[in-house]
Chains A and B, each alone.
Chain A
Amino acid sequence: MLAFVIRRILQSVAVMVAVAFIAFLMFRFVGDPVNQMVGIDTPAEEVARLRQSLGLNDPTPVQFANFIWKAMHFDFGMSYQFRLPVTQLLAERAPATLELAFTAAGFALLVGVIMGVYCALRRDSILAKTFQAVSLVGVSLPTFLIGILLIYLFAVILGWLPSNGRGDVVKFGNWWTTGFLTKSGLRALVLPAITLGLFQMTLIMRLVRAEMMEVMRTDYIKFARARGLRTRSIHFGHALKNTLIPVITIAGLQLGSIIAFAIITETVFNWPGMGLLFLKAVQNVDIPIMAAYLMLIGLLFVTINLIVDLTYGFVDPRLRVAMRA
């Protein structure tokens, strides 16, 4: 068991080094950071001095070794654009992204399960068919288009909700800021959370519907019916409970991608999170931010997968046998 855990952790480390290497190689092709830091009429000698002081003239292996060494100490250097430590910038932006991601995931889970259950139980009703059709739209339309459509409908035409930003935030401790406690913060959260969660919502709805229909055909449901239990308790006490196990696994795995793919939603809604920071960093060739963000997302996925793998081992006895081998 311990050997298995160690092996999995070593594999995760290998993945992280690979992520770092690929990210580092990519930076050689995104363009020249120095040109983004100076005006066009800056003298060339000044540009050369800047390049030297940033260590851009060192050989590539040296730059990579420096990068890895510093990354191991959670030091990603200073952002070229802001002249502030990257870790501080990311930490300031993280609450915005996390609040958005968890709200979106919560929305997807809640609405997805309710719609899924409804579709499974009232398969032939008009509403269920509408849900099905809407879910197709959710799966097939790209996020930025949904975001822009929502902005035009609810912000520009109806004027009900804000089109961009995070509203007023309240500060907690040193780093954390929350938009949950102000009216404008909550209003600002609605459209981006729906946009970000829509795809997951339709996914969960379809999953719940399929699982639930499957469960409803099993013997123990028939048996429960025969015993004369009330429909409500059969549906929600027995059937739904068994449906939710795969749903929770999927939702957990999807949380990583919600955080990672918040980039697009954050751009459309000008949400001041890590994704927006990353996108602007790409445009301005701000390599320290790009590197740190890619490493962070890599770490997130590796951690989530590691946890899932390990819990499977605890849950499923068959895997435990395999682990011993």
Chain B
Amino acid sequence: MFMKRYGLAAFAAIALSSVSAQAVTLRYANQGDLKSLDPYTLNETTTLAHHGHVYEGLTSRGKDLKIGPGLAESWEVKEGGKKWLFKLRKNVKFHNGEDFTADDVIFSADRVRMPGSNFNTRVPKDAKFTKIDSHTIEVELASPNPIMIAQWDTWYIVSKKWAEANNSAAPTPASATTPSYISLNSNGTGPFKIESHQPGVKTVFKPNPAYWGKKEHNLDEIVFTPIPNDATRVAALLSGEVDVIEPVPIQDIARVNSSDKAKVLAGPELRTIFLGFDQIRDELLESNVKGKNPFKDVKVRQAFNMAIDKETIKARVMRGLSTPSPLMIAPELVPFAKDFKNPKFDADAAKKLLAEAGYPNGFEVGMDCPNDRYVNDGPICQAVVGMLARIGVKVNLNAQPKAQYFAKVLKPGGYKTSFYLLGWTPGTFDSHNVLYDIHGCRGEGTSRGESNLGGYCSKAVDALTDKILVEADTAKRDAMIKEAYTITTNEFAYVPLHQQALAWGIAKNVTLTQRADNQVLLYWATKK
């Protein structure tokens, strides 16, 4: 009898311990930190993805990046995008138990547009928010904007009561002298809540039992650690200490795939890597050509486009993990991508074009390139230097860390570059952003073309861009977008190189959906 009871107790103990062993913990390591928990502090992919576990926007984006309902159940667009009516979801609670209502949306709309917010452009400056009832909101704009909600999936809604009670009604400005409550604590409506957060060390997420949406994961806990060192991050995956890492360095992909514990999830990313020319100055800053700017001549830009072999860059530098691109936007984001073809690689024809333009012996030009920003950015630039040498252009490469690179080439640094490499993902996933920000004519007092570092300018493209912004008819809009890209491609405004690939490392017992915007969203993860 005693033995029996003892045996039963032991059995119970084993059963109990196996129950606790079944608690599923997913350990995730990224090269970047989760710095502040305030969802309006840093507009950057990794941070957005982290916050997306905790906070939600009025809209959401699905696994295929399609816009769907979020905290707003539905919405109506009136007057061609001048007035919007949002029906908010009922019975949604914040993690602290408060109800989600229209007041929170109006509060968040004000907060996101305050100084100190890094998301000012998420909500148009002139948008007026009006509360119709506790779960209906009307937004009125000065001019129609059919793509207003394109980025609202990452405009996260913050609780009014909670933020005000904790002295966090305004975003933490960079020059603050005391830390704010909201940068260390969180209160969202999302599928996970943050249990503990040590900035730069470790963050623990627990599922939100009261979540309104469908549960698509089987996790009991997510433990996030930033591991900036590539070798360490890969070793942690291979030794089974973490289950998911992002990114896997290209040179380690084969090794991860050959291990018995983990594999690489690779796919195309939306970011386009391209080369740009200074075509606005009358004389290049860094060149031996004096008195004129060779890049003002479309033949020179065409010659560069023909002399750079994108397939070789893909095969040699990117180890197959890139999609050579003729367009300045990822092919997934436009319906007509297949109508554009990469220019044929032809060094001899390129040389002839240079001679026609008046440079039979080529010329010398300086090139700026980051070496820690994009996948293999430094080596890509080195490959470009070699390819241009074949047509007689001597490129003096200045590859430096992103901190110095961006300080030199962006607007605050005075656009001090003659020839450069840059990557661009349209935040809105829409061509208007690409046409406005990197193709628009630069000018005083406008934000148009602010990231158009080389100053390409076409009045025709600008006119189309303005029409594209207000056109509500999709077919007409797409036709205009295509027309704009045809102009920029024919004028060789840039040398689009490729869309780089995403590479996530995941343990073999984990399944995860990879979204092309590189947000690692673990609420779609299951672990056996």
Contacts and interface: CB of A to CB of B under 8 A. Distances in A.
Contacts of B238: 156
Nearest to B422: A40
Contacts of A33: 403
Interface stretch (A210-218, A237-245, A250-258, A278-286): A278-286
B239 A156 contact: yes
Contacts of B42: 37, 39
Contacts of B200: 82, 89, 272, 277, 280
A306 interface: no
A92 interface: yes
B232 A44 contact: no
A283 B412 contact: no
Contacts of B79: none
Contact of A283 (B235, B241, B403): B403
B274 to A, nearest CB: 13
Contacts of A49: 115
B44 interface: yes
Most A Cβ at <10 Å: residue of B118, B174, B451: B174
A151 to B, nearest CB: 5
B403 A284 contact: yes
A164 B232 contact: yes
Interface in A244-273: 267-270, 272
Nearest to B199: A82
B249 to A, nearest CB: 14
B450 A83 contact: no
Nearest to B428: A41
Contact of B120 (A46, A88, A148, A156): A46
A272 to B, nearest CB: 4
B315 interface: no
A104 B450 CA distance: 51
Contact of A36 (B38, B239, B403, B412): B403
B410 A35 contact: yes
B232 A83 contact: no
Interface stretch (A50-58, A112-120, A225-233): A50-58
Contacts of B33: 81, 280
Nearest to A48: B412
A192 to B, nearest CB: 11
Contacts of A151: 231-232, 235, 239
Nearest to A33: B403
B229 A270 contact: yes
Interface in B378-434: 401-407, 410-413, 424, 427, 433
Most A Cβ at <10 Å: residue of B121, B179, B240, B403: B403
A78 B177 contact: yes
Contacts of A32: 403-404, 406-407, 412-413
Contacts of A81: 33, 35
B43 A39 contact: yes
A44 B238 CA distance: 43
Contacts of B115: 49
Interface in A3-43: 30-43
B408 to A, nearest CB: 9
A44 B227 contact: no
B407 A270 contact: no
23 contacts: A31-B402, A31-B407, A32-B403, A32-B406, A32-B407, A40-B406, A40-B451, A41-B427, A42-B43, A47-B412, A48-B412, A49-B115, A51-B412, A53-B174, A82-B200, A84-B179, A84-B184, A85-B179, A92-B198, A164-B235, A270-B226, A283-B401, A283-B403
9 cross-chain pairs, A with B, having the tightest CB-CB distances, nearest first: A31-B403, A32-B407, A39-B43, A53-B175, A35-B406, A272-B201, A155-B239, A31-B404, A285-B403
Interface of A: 30-51, 53-55, 77-78, 80-85, 88-89, 92, 148, 151-152, 155-156, 159, 162-165, 267-270, 272, 276-277, 279-280, 283-285
Given A35-B402, A164-B227, 11 more contacts: A40-B451, A80-B174, A92-B198, A148-B231, A151-B232, A155-B241, A162-B241, A163-B235, A165-B241, A272-B202, A280-B228
Interface of B: 33, 35-36, 38, 41-44, 115, 118, 120-121, 172-180, 183-184, 198-202, 225-229, 231-233, 235-236, 238-241, 372, 401-407, 410-413, 424, 427, 433, 437, 447, 450-451
